[in-house]
Structure 1
Amino acid sequence: MANRLPLLITLAGVAVLFLSILFVFALVLGAMFFGGIEFTGGHTDAAASLASISSLV
C-alpha cells in the first residue's frame, strides 16, 4: 500500500487541477452566453441609486 501512495496523491492532484480548469472554462462559457459576470458586487448599482437620491435633495 505504501508503494501506491505517491500514485494516489498524484491522481488526487491531477483531479483537483482538472476540476479547477473545468470550473474556469464553465465561467468563461457562462460569461460569453449569459451576458457576463459582474464582479463589482453591486457597487455600480449602489452608486447609481445614490446619485439619483442626491439629485432629488
Structure 2
Amino acid sequence: MANRLPLLITLAGVAVLFLSIAFVFALVVGAMFFGGIEFTGGHMDATAPALQLRLAA
C-alpha cells in the first residue's frame, strides 16, 4: 500500500486540477450565455442611483 501512495496523491492532484479547469470553463460558458459575471457582488448596482443623484444636484 505504501508504494501506491505517490500514485494516489498524483491522481488526487490531477483530479483537483481538472475540476478547477472545468469550473473556469463553466464560468466562461456561463458568461457567454448569461451576459457576464458580476464579481462586485452587486455593489456597483447599489451605488449607481446615488451617483446619479449626486450628478443631478
Instruction: Return the TM-score normalized by structure 2.
Output: 0.82
Instruction: Find the counterpart in structure 1 of residue 41 from structure 2.
Output: 41
Letter in 2 for 1:19: L
Q: CA deviation at 1:6?
A: 0.2
Greater share of helix = 2
Q: Give the SS at the match of 2:22.
A: helix
Deviation at 1:49, TM superposition (A): 2.5
- Gaps (5+ residues) in structure 2? none
1:16 counterpart = 2:20: no
Higher relative contact order (CA 8 A, sep 6+): 2
Structure 1 runs not aligned, ≥5 long:
none
The TM-score normalised by the length of structure 1 is 0.82
SS of the aligned residue for 2:40 comes to: coil
Aligned residues with identical type, % of pairs:
77
**How far is 1:53 from its partner?**
5.4
Structure 1 runs (4+) deviating above 6 angstroms are none
